[in-house]
Amino acid sequence: MDMNGTEVLPGISYKRLYEAILETVPFSIFILDANLKVLEANRNFLKKSRQHAKDVLGRRIEEVFPRVFSESTDLIGKVQNSFSDGDCVREGKLTYKAPGIAATVYYYLVIPLLEEGARPSLVMLLLEDITEKERLGAEVRSAWRHWASAVESVTDIIFSATPDGTIQTWNKAAEEISGYKPRALRGIKVMSLCVDESEVEKMERAFRALALGAPQRDLQIDLRDSKGQRLPVSWSFSALRDDTGHLSGIVAVGRDLTERKRMEAQLIQTAKMAAMGVMAGGIAHEIRNPLAVSSSAAQLLLDDHGDGQFRKEAAQKIYTNIAQASRIIENLLRFARPSSGAFEVFPLEASLDEIVSLVSNQLILSQITLVKRYGKQSLRVRGIKNLLQQVFLNITLNAVNAMREGGGELLVATRCKTGGERRSVLVSFTDQGCGIPRENLSRIFDPFFTTQPVGQGTGLGLSVSYSIVKQMGGCIHVTSEVGSGSTFEVELPLEP
């Protein structure tokens, strides 16, 4: 049956198609007869082996291949089997190593071309050099193994997710820290692990910014662990992009802040105790005063025998003074307690007053006049009240220190800042103290930086204040002039 002239597609004969395929495929094809003579060898082979068709066609296959190749592989045997038994090899793989040359890996096929019912009279041999593919495959596998073992052995949380936050992988550290098994998280959005709505918002904002190309580093977003506990985590997010630059996924690395938070809380408590030590003298005085007043009023009551109006006034005096003393003690105790760490919305001015009342005596003793300039409207802020009061106290005590020689005026002012995209409140403390030399300005927030004599300053006040305010999404600005005074301004997000 001659099909050479038959058209397989309009205008294309079998022969043309056959030749075209043979000449363009990127592997070597041979047609061999039963004497293993080469009847056909395609262009790929001639090119790779740098031989001419006339030197190849009609020669036996083992003469066409390098001798070492024929001797070191059993390819020829496979071809012979194919003639004798009609064996067919579909997915052969062989490695050929000539002396002094790197090993080459081939994928091969031996296909007997059967005439109906008869023994094969021709065999097609196909060889493809897959050395490079194998090398790449091995490289990819090894890179993947390295990467996977790194991801599994780090102590940080690492997860990958689709751009909408659906979790794809979740490493061992993530499992250990959060308590969630990767299996349980399949198809779940990472936002659903955030501890509350505001954290969900932060995560979504970070993902959106990442999609627009803004790097996202050191963001604290807290999760809820499998036991329902708050898990503070500092995150860095990176974008995975496909070849067109499109965001195809997100990789997140998160550091568990639990231990750091615990240390921070301890430091805050230490600084608080130090501040209380500084205040103790003033507070004792503060309490002794109303007690003395009450005591003498009580004495008068004991002595007096008749006048009802007089007795009433004395009792009233005792009552208000004791109330005053117990208010001070209450304020002090509330302040001394370690903070619960819970965010709440509270009136700013009232909590400032509580703190200022604790130091009012100290101010009088240091000949400092307190001037309050609060805004018309009472402001409400969101934060951890107890910690924020500690900030106010630290700054106030620093101002008292700075005005130790000669006293002066301490101005405490609050105002609302509406410019910009976020509304905030500003609480400023302006003293007329010694001021801060320029070279110290950048160091006053460093832990343990102090210019106070040994035994008096801890150098913790401002560093602790800074971390507290930062935790509440705010910041502290300082301006100062040596000899005339300083202003510390605390900026906090305003509760809408």
Interacting residues with ligand ADP (CB under 6 A): 394, 398-399, 402, 431, 433-436, 444, 449-452, 457-463, 486
Distance of CA 309 to CAs 294, 295, 315, Å?
17, 19, 10
Q: Which is nearer to ligand ADP, 250 or 444 (CB)?
A: 444
- Interatomic CA distance for residues 195 and 229, integer angstroms: 8
Shortest distance, position 351 Cβ to Mg ion, whole Å: 19
447 binds, among ligand ADP, Mg ion, none (CB under 5 to 8 A by kind): none
For Mg ion, which is the closer residue by CB, 216 or 401?
401
CB of 310 to ligand ADP, least distance (A): 48
Q: How many CB atoms neighbour CB 400 within 10 A?
A: 22
Decide whether 61 or 359 has the Cβ nearer to ligand ADP: 359
**Of 433 and 461, which CB lies nearer to Mg ion in the complex structure?**
461
Pick one of ligand ADP, Mg ion, none as the site partner of residue 32 (Cβ within 5 to 8 A by kind): none
- Using CB distances below 5 to 8 A depending on partner kind, what does residue 431 bind out of Mg ion, ligand ADP, none? ligand ADP
| Measured distance CA(216)–CA(249) in Å, rounded | 14
**What would the DSSP string read from start to end of 369-437?**
EEEEE--SSPPEEEE-HHHHHHHHHHHHHHHHHHTTTT-EEEEEEEEEE--SSS-EEEEEEE--S----
Q: How many CB atoms lie within 10 A of CB 388?
A: 25
CB atoms within 10 A of CB 297: 19
Residue 127 or 275 having the CB closest to ligand ADP: 275
Residue 75, by phi and psi: left (phi above 0), alpha (psi -120 to 50) or beta? alpha
CB of 440 to ligand ADP, least distance (A): 6
C-alpha angle 38/40/41, rounded to 5°?
95
Least distance to ligand ADP, CB of residue 232, Å? 24
- Name which of residues 385 to 404 contact Mg ion (CB under 5 A): 398
Identity of the residue, 118 or 454, whose beta carbon is nearer to ligand ADP in the bound complex: 454
Closer Cβ to Mg ion, 360 or 398, answer by number: 398
| Cα distances (angstroms) measured from residue 284 to each of 289, 292, 364 | 9, 12, 14
Answer whether 391's CB lies under 8 Å from 268's CB.
Answer: no
| 163 interface partner picked from Mg ion, ligand ADP, none, CB below 5 to 8 A per type | none
Smallest distance from ligand ADP to CB 315, Å: 43
Cα 486 from chain centre: 36
Write out the binding residues for Mg ion, residues 405-464 only, by CB under 5 A: 461
Instruction: Please choose which of ligand ADP, Mg ion, none residue 433 contacts, taking the beta carbon within 5 to 8 angstroms, the exact cut-off set by kind.
Output: ligand ADP
> One symbol per residue from 343 to 382: x for binding Mg ion (CB under 5 A), - otherwise; what is it?
----------------------------------------
Q: Which residue is nearest to ligand ADP (CB)?
A: 461
- 392 within 8 A of 428, measured Cβ to Cβ: no
Nearer to ligand ADP, 81 or 440 (CB): 440
Instruction: Provide the minimum distance between the beta carbon of 430 and ligand ADP in the complex, in angstroms, as a whole number.
Output: 9
Distance of CA 381 to the CA centre of its chain: 27
Which residue number, 78 or 272, has a Cβ lying nearer to Mg ion? 272
CB of 411 to Mg ion, least distance (A): 19
**Least separation in angstroms between CB 268 and ligand ADP:** 13
Q: Which does 426 bind (CB under 5 to 8 A by kind): Mg ion, ligand ADP, none?
A: none
Partner touching 451 among Mg ion, ligand ADP, none, CB below 5 to 8 Å by kind: ligand ADP
Return the one option of Mg ion, ligand ADP, none that residue 450 interacts with (CB less than 5 to 8 A, by type): ligand ADP
| Alpha carbon distances (Å) from 209 to 222, 324, 392 | 19, 53, 34
Q: Residues touching Mg ion: how many (CB under 5 A)?
A: 2
Enter the tokens of residue 459.
């150098």
Interacting residues of 494 by C-beta distance below 8 A, sequence separation 6+: 379, 380, 381, 416, 423, 424, 425
| 390/458 with CB nearer ligand ADP | 458
Q: How far is the CB of 458 from Mg ion (least distance, A)?
A: 7
Q: Which is nearer to ligand ADP, 28 or 401 (CB)?
A: 401
* Structural contact between residues 124 and 113, judged by C-beta atoms closer than 8 angstroms: yes
Return the percent helix, strand and coil in the chain, to nearest 5. Answer: 45, 25, 30
Round to whole Å and give the CA distance between 203 and 213: 15
Rounded-to-integer distance, Cα 332 and Cα 283, Å: 9
Minimum distance of Mg ion from residue 332's CB (angstroms):
18
254 alpha carbon, distance to own chain's centre: 4
Smallest gap from Cβ 377 to ligand ADP, in A, equals: 28
Q: Is the dihedral of CA 162, 168, 174, 175 positive or negative?
A: positive
Q: Measured from the CB of residue 441, what is the shortest distance to ligand ADP in angstroms?
A: 9
41 or 278: CB nearest Mg ion = 278
Using an 8 Å Cβ cutoff, are 250 and 211 in contact?
A: no
From ligand ADP, Mg ion, none, interface partner of 249 (C-beta below 5 to 8 A by class): none
Q: Please name the amino acid found at residue 275.
A: A
Binding-site partner at residue 339 among Mg ion, ligand ADP, none, CB < 5 to 8 Å by type: none
Binding site for Mg ion (CB under 5 A): 398, 461
